Each structure stands twice: as C-alpha cells, then as structure tokens.
Amino acid sequence: MNLKDKSPQNNSMDINRFWNFSRGSIHTFRSGLRDAVSGVERTRSRMMEYDQLLVWAVLSLALIGLVMVYSASITLVDSPKYINYSSNYFLVRHLISLSIAVFVGFWTFKIPTRVWDQYSAVIFGFTVLLLIAVLIPGLGKGVNGARRWIPLGLMNFQPSELMKFAVLIFAASYTVQRQEYLHSFVKGLVPMGVAVMIVGLLLLWEPDMGAFVVVALIAFGILFLGGINAKLFGGLIGVGILSAATIIAFSPFRKGRIMAFLDPWQVDNAANKGYQLTHSLMAFGRGEWFGTGLGGSVEKLNYLPEAHTDFILAVIGEELGFVGVVAIIFLFYWIVRRSFLIGRTSLQLDRSFAGLAAKGVGIWIGWQAFINMGVNLGLLPTKGLTLPLISYGGSGILMNAVAIALLLKIDYENRVLMRGGKL
C-alpha cells in the first residue's frame, strides 16, 4: 500500500468529501420533504372554500332572469294598466331586488348554521305573526283580490316567501330534536301537522294556495328524509290529497281552474279560466327548437297575462326555444343535485340539522320550479307560483338568495371540517 494514502492531507480531503456529501444528502432530503409538504398544501388548497359550479348555476339563472324580465315587461307600457310606467320600470325594480338579495345573501352567509337551528322556532313564530298581519286592513296590501303583501316603501314584502324559509329551518330542527318520536303519530307527526295546518289556513285566507303547497312539500319532505314512519307518511299523503280535493270541491273558483286545465281549448275555457294556459302553450309552440330570438315574442304583447312573473318560462320558450328551456331545466337540476349532495356530506359529518336544511333547500327550489314549469306547460293546474331566481318579484328573489346563502354556508362548513378545522 502506498504510504501517501495514509497522509494527513489525504485524510482531511476524505473527511471534507464525506462532510460535503452528507450536507448535500441532508439538503436534498430537506428539499424533498419541503416539496412533499408543499405538494400536500397545494393539494389541500385546491379544495375551494365554496362550490364554484353551484354559484355559477345560480348566477346564470339570475342573469337569464334579468334579461327575460326586461324582455317580457318592456311592452307592458302599452297596456292601460301600466300606461304611466316607463319601459324600464320593471327592469330597474328587478335590478334593485337583485342588489338587495345579494346584500342580504352575503350577510346570511356570515351566520353560522347552528344559529338558524337555535332560533328556528322563534323565526317560525314571527313569520306566523306576519301572515296574520298581512290580513289586517291597513297593514296588508291587496292586489287583484289577494292580500299577500306588507308595504315597506322600497318594496312590498310577501310573508309567504319568508314562511318557505322559516318552515325549512323549523322542520329540520324539529326532525333532529324529535328523532326518537318520528315513529309516533301523537308525538312525532301531530305537532308538525298542526303547525302546517295553521300556516295553511292563513295562506288560504290570503288566498295563496300555491305557497301553501310548497310549504307543505318542504315540511313533510324534510320529515320523510329525516326517517318518519312510512305508514304515517303514507297516511299523511292520503290526508293531504283528501284535503286538497275538499278545498277544490267547495271553491267554485278553484274548481273552474281545474276544469279549464283539463280542457283549456274549449271555447268557454279559452276565453276565461284557460286563457293564460292556451296562450302559454301557443308561446311554446311558436318557439320550436331554437326560438324566435330574444325580443321576438308575440305572446308577451299583452296577450299572455303575468308574462314577467308566473309565465316567464313561456316567454323563454318562445324566444329561446326548446334549447333554452332545456338549459333552464339543467341549471335547476344542478342546484337540486348539489343541494342533496351537500346534505349527504353534512349527514356523514354528523351534522343532522345542516344536512336536512341543505336537502330542504333542494326540495324548495326543485318543487317550486317543477310546479311553475308544469303550469306553464299545461301539466298542472294554474297556480300563482313564480320561477325561482328568474321571475320578477322582490320577495321571491330575496328569499331565494337567503336559501342559497344558507346552502353555501353549509357547504363551506363541511369543507372546513374536512380540512380538519373547527367551527
């Protein structure tokens, strides 16, 4: 062996090489670990704090509604009823309603879900008082024979719209608190049945049967999802059908609407009770596949009553055609689908109230849209229900925004918990 290999100089060189190699290895390990950690952080950051596609679906419906409300209402000034209105009157008011809805929805999103659970009974009771107040002469405002609004200066507020939200959170809280009694008729079903019956009597007194149908669907839909006894639920449906038949039988006005719905093209019906439906069907017929073009509707020229509210889908069908109607249906489908998926995630995270409330929003938006579309297409009898997020109407837009804000808040809290955070 060469003695030079054992010299102090060579030994120091070997040590330096080893030290440099060790430092390089440690630096490489630390860099790799840092990259791995940052990779995890980037992966976690990809989970957005809100549901982007849900927000885009809601915004799309709101923007479509803004355009179609203007298109459907621009010719109303030619009617003697609106002779003193400007052509932009309904557009401006709808913009104001949307602005107020966005503002209120923003602050609703700030409220934790547990607060709605805690004060659900108080909100429900307060809304019942508003339904009573609207029937008092001098407090409530009547339009076309119905007394449904409370004047607030900038806008007329409709308590029945607030009741849809109030019964949603009340039914969700009730179902969670009485989970062990849902198989009992007296302790499980009767209290909710009495509450809905009181609301129904007040709404039918206005009258607003369409709102009552939606309120009942929300309340008992949440009870069904919460696990109510199947026999009790079946009996409830039977009682509901019997009650509806009784109300129709003893109300000549509603009976006339049903007969007109069954045969709207009969001469007497087409000129009276079936007038709206026949002109709605003609609007869809004119639209065909791709529509007559934006602004090209003929039925909105004072032929189709309430073209900017209850029958706005008919104007959409005429101007945007079958393709436009299918796009609207898909956006509503997406909102309902996301509502139920968010609700399922909440239940998996052991958040029962949030899960039922999220699904309740889906029931509300889905059923009201279905009923409005069914009325426009002649599949259901005529009811005074607006198309959510689209039709003209400040109270409806406002409460739709509150419901969507609650849904987004539930989704946000789910995402916080899935990241390992705390509420």
pLDDT per residue over 24-50, tens digit each?
544 544 454 344 444 434 434 455 777
In the prediction, which pLDDT does 24 show?
54
pLDDT at res. 39: 43
* Residue burial 204-226, b: 16+ Cβ < 10 Å; e: rest: eebbbbbbbbbbbbbbbbbbbbb
Nearest to 367 by CA among 222, 241, 190, 240: 222
Rounded CA-CA distance 382/399 in Å is 23
Q: Answer with the residue of higher pLDDT: 123 or 247.
A: 123
| 103 C-beta neighbours (distance < 10 Å), count | 12
Cis peptide, bond prior to residue 207, ω within 30 of zero: yes
* pLDDT at 88 > cutoff 60: yes
The rounded distance, in Å, linking the Cα atoms of 332 and 252 is 34
Per-residue tokens: 69: 């409300």
> Greater confidence, 146 or 166?
166
Yes or no: say if 233 and 220 are a contact pair by the CB < 8 Å rule. Answer: yes
pLDDT at 207: 82
The count of other CB atoms within 10 Å of the CB of residue 369 is: 25
Query: CB under 8 Å to 114, separation ≥6 — which residues?
Result: 353, 423
Instruction: State the average pLDDT for the chain.
Output: 84
Residue 156, SS3 per DSSP: strand
Contact call for residues 382 and 375 (beta carbons, < 8 A): yes
151: enclosing H helix or E strand: strand 146-151
Q: How far is CA 5 from CA 14, 15, 16, 18, 21, in A?
A: 10, 13, 15, 16, 20
CA dihedral 97, 100, 101, 104 (to 10 degrees): -160
Query: What's the confidence (pLDDT) of residue 47?
Result: 57
Angle (CA) 167-169-174 rounded to 5° is 90
Name the amino acid, one letter, at 172: A
Which of 99, 126, 123 shows the shortest CA–CA distance to 111? 123
CA distance 404 to 54: 9
Residue with tokens 């093209």: 265
Average pLDDT over residues 218-223: 93
Closest to 117 in 3D by CA, of 176, 164, 162, 159: 176
380 confidence band (pLDDT: 50, 70, 90): confident
Strands 156-157 and 146-151: antiparallel
pLDDT of 400 above 70: yes
Q: Are 358 and 346 in contact (CB under 8 A)?
A: yes
Using a pLDDT cut of 70, give the percent of the chain over it.
Answer: 85
In sequence order, the 6+-apart residues with CB closer than 8 A to the CB of 47 are 415, 418, 419
Identify the three-state secondary structure at position 182: coil
Q: 161 pLDDT exceeds 70? A: yes
Q: Is the pLDDT of residue 244 over 80?
A: no
